[in-house]
Homo-oligomer: A and B are copies of this chain.
């Protein structure tokens, strides 16, 4: 298979074929006007006939625009990011831009590498999302120093307050969920945070703490565990929370749905019924097919809209338009799916304790 790209027809070929200069051809190609109707038509016909397509690399070299942006995310397979990516891509598409997909797996190394590639002017600008804040910011700092246009989504870096971004009000979301849980009568509420190196994890935790304070509930450090936003992390965190054998809580609030589900598995394995024995709440509102159970009461983050929104923000930046406000913040919506039960007195806790010796509901289940 000899598949090397054939020599493409160039603007010069068309010019020669039409007996005009390449400038004229360029003008009709770009609808720049200033070309006689007859000439223009003829040129168009020849272009059509020979299926000429301008070489966009050459165009980019001179216009200094590639019409491409980079999207740097941890992993497209995470439903949250694929949703976000789709929002970005749709916005790009609407503006005749392409979107370069960059998966970092949260690795500073990979992110740095992508930054290197992007600033080679492969992309006109870039969008960066969640990452451990400090470690990788040096790469971003050089970008900023070169005044390379970029925006953040759900990524907050203290050192760069001037970078435009789209955010979600994580603290408000956690606060709202906590108020709801508390309104159902719970006072002993366990919390599984995200990795506290990330800004959003810290904000969610802040919301949790704020709510406790607001209701005069004493913070119990034994009820707080740091997770990693992954399923297995939720499972392990729940394991840790139950270490003392006595479930010191009637409700469990995980910082994202995946961890909530991981915790759900552990709890179920230990014989707890949810929400009868323990209530569970999550964050993200990952969309699964409607029949899928369990359903977790959660906070919805409009990932698609976040993606679309940053992209438009980035375009404003690219156009040299004023970006106001510098930050756009999306507000949370609570999605009640019934996994937080009302608490009648101390009942749930006592029942839970009683079930502790019960057989595992799902003995041989593996973690991913």
Q: Give the interface of A toward B (CB within 8 A).
A: 1-6, 8, 51, 53-58, 60-61, 64, 66, 68, 71, 75-77, 79, 82-83, 85-86, 89-90, 93, 98-103, 110, 116-117, 119-122, 124, 142, 146-149, 162, 164, 231, 258, 261-262, 264-265, 268, 287-294, 317-318, 320, 322-323, 326, 362, 365-368
- Complex contact A56–B121 (CB within 8 A): yes
Residue in contact with A57 in the complex, picked from B2, B121, B146, CB distance below 8 Å? B121
- Complex contact A82–B77 (CB within 8 A): yes
> Chain B contacts of A64 at CB under 8 A?
5
Copies of this chain in its oligomeric complex: 2
- Complex contact B2–A320 (CB within 8 A): yes
Would you give the shortest CB distance from A269 to chain B, in whole angstroms? 10
8 contacts between A and B (CB under 8 A): A3-B320, A5-B64, A57-B61, A57-B121, A76-B76, A85-B101, A89-B101, A89-B103
> Chain B contacts of A5 at CB under 8 A?
64, 124, 146-149
> Chain B contacts of A77 at CB under 8 A?
79, 82-83, 86
> Chain B contacts of A75 at CB under 8 A?
86
Q: How many angstroms from the CA of A56 to the CA of B102 in the assembled complex?
A: 17
Query: Which residue of chain B has the shortest Cβ distance to A368 in the bound complex?
Result: B290
- Complex contact B117–A90 (CB within 8 A): no
Would you give the shortest CB distance from A241 to chain B, in whole angstroms? 17
- Complex contact B103–A100 (CB within 8 A): no
Would you give the shortest CB distance from A343 to chain B, in whole angstroms? 23
- Complex contact A292–B322 (CB within 8 A): no
- Complex contact A86–B68 (CB within 8 A): no
- Complex contact A3–B317 (CB within 8 A): yes
- Complex contact A103–B76 (CB within 8 A): no
Query: Which residue of chain B has the shortest Cβ distance to A367 in the bound complex?
Result: B290
> Chain B contacts of A164 at CB under 8 A?
1
Answer whether A76 and B86 are a contact pair too, CB < 8 Å, given A3-B320, A288-B288: yes
Residue in contact with A55 in the complex, picked from B121, B231, B292, B317, CB distance below 8 Å? B121
List of 6 A-B pairs having minimum Cβ-Cβ separation, nearest first: A56-B120, A265-B291, A261-B289, A6-B147, A82-B82, A101-B101
Answer whether A82 and B89 are a contact pair too, CB < 8 Å, given A121-B56, A122-B57, A149-B3: no
Residue in contact with A262 in the complex, picked from B1, B4, B289, CB distance below 8 Å? B289
- Complex contact A99–B101 (CB within 8 A): yes
- Complex contact B98–A76 (CB within 8 A): no
Q: How many angstroms from the CA of A98 to the CA of B66 in the assembled complex?
A: 14
> Chain B contacts of A268 at CB under 8 A?
291
- Complex contact A258–B289 (CB within 8 A): yes
Query: Which residue of chain B has the shortest Cβ distance to A366 in the bound complex?
Result: B290
> Chain B contacts of A82 at CB under 8 A?
76-77, 79, 82
- Complex contact B317–A291 (CB within 8 A): no
